[in-house]
Structure 1
């Protein structure tokens, strides 16, 4: 159980009984389950808030809860990537910009777009719980995928977290998400295109990072999570229409 607590403590702000974190391949296996747990909490909140407030207020509160439960860790990475990967600067300046704790124009715009897409999807989806369960689950598996890419620098969070996995191990970690997606497809087919496009969007982020800074950083991990979640929610709402 210590590895489960370690995964929860690393990926969320939920208090855990673990006195120290253990980070190894067994810990990584729990990442998608932590995403599922996060989604389950959000789905329960959606049911509660939906009974009390109109859709737009419910959506705003859910976006806030989503950020609070993760400590806005991934949002911070997305903002840094917005500044470092999208700004029209020389390649050698990009990593320096991403290390800067200050947020620039590109970071603000990127952050706003991701949050607005989540908000708009949450406000328009007639049934929230399938998307809320799957979006965080796939996003946490995509962190494992990002760990397999080259590093942009030899230090930092990405270097400390780096844990090589073979195809079999990656597939095993993806199995819970695949099973849940398959089950939910019988009732809510929209989760299939949403999952597919979210994974493709994550590949796009990784490809952009490799082209612009030569590999991944901890900020890129955060951007992969936020972009995949926002795209998942957006595609799920588009498919319903």
Structure 2
């Protein structure tokens, strides 16, 4: 269980038994399952909060708990990427900005918009618990996908974490998320397109990072997690209103 606890300790703030931290392919195998654990916790809290508070309050509490469960690690990466990838400066300056622990205007905007988007999606989503269950799971698998991209620099977290996975391993590690998505889509059709959009959005972030800084960093991993989760929640909140149905029928 050493690899499992290594994955839990790295990705969450949950207390873990004393163990020697190990990061290899066996540890990476557990990443999506840790995401599932985060999602299961949030789903259970969604029922509890939903029984006590109105939808907007429930959504804010869930987003706050989400950040607490991960130590805001990914949010910090998103903010750094906002400052580094969006600022109109040369590549080397972008990397310097992303190393800086201070947050700038672009980072504040990216962070605020992402938190607002997650909160708004949870407030209105008709499939809140399936979305909470799957979004963190897919996001942690997407970290494994991001690890296969070129590095922007030879040092830092991304370089230390880098573990090569072949296509077969990536597909195998994604299988639990695929099966759970397929099972839940039988009752909640939104989760299937939400999964696809989350993956495509993450690929967009990786493409942007490669164009702007030449590859990925640890901050890019965090941005991939946050952006893919927000994209999943956004699509999962989609509903076919009576007005939309009427327009489609008329056309």
Q: 1:92 to 1:206 in 2, by over 3 A?
A: same
Partner of 2:234: 234
Deviation readout 1:147-200 (Å, 9 max, x if unpaired): 000000000000000000000000000000000000011000100110000100
Partner of 1:26: 26
Partner of 1:56: 56
Distance in structure 2 (CA, Å) of the matches to 1:93 and 1:20? 36
Distance in structure 2 (CA, Å) of the matches to 1:18 and 1:201? 36
| Cα pair 2:75 2:111 within 8 Å, conserved | yes
Q: CA deviation at 1:39?
A: 0.1
Partner of 2:175: 175
Distance in structure 1 (CA, Å) of the matches to 2:132 and 2:192? 14
| Cα pair 2:209 2:220 within 8 Å, conserved | yes
TM-score (norm 2): 0.95
TM-score (norm 1): 0.98
How many corresponding residue pairs?
Answer: 241
Partner of 1:127: 127
Q: 1:119 to 1:28 in 2, by over 3 A?
A: same
The Cα RMSD (Å) is: 0.8
Distance in structure 2 (CA, Å) of the matches to 1:115 and 1:228? 13
Deviation readout 1:111-159 (Å, 9 max, x if unpaired): 1111111000111113311000000000000000000000000000000
Query: Deviation above 3 Å: which 4+ runs of structure 1?
Result: none
Which SS does the other structure have where 1:101 is aligned? coil
Q: Which runs of 5+ in 1 are unaligned?
A: none
| Cα pair 1:9 1:16 within 8 Å, conserved | yes
Q: CA deviation at 1:90?
A: 1.5
Q: 1:83 to 1:170 in 2, by over 3 A?
A: same
Partner of 2:143: 143
Q: CA deviation at 1:92?
A: 1.6
- Which of structures 1 and 2 has the bigger CA Rg? 2
Partner of 1:6: 6
| Cα pair 1:7 1:30 within 8 Å, conserved | yes
Q: Which runs of 5+ in 2 are unaligned?
A: 242-251
- Pairing 1:210–2:213 present: no
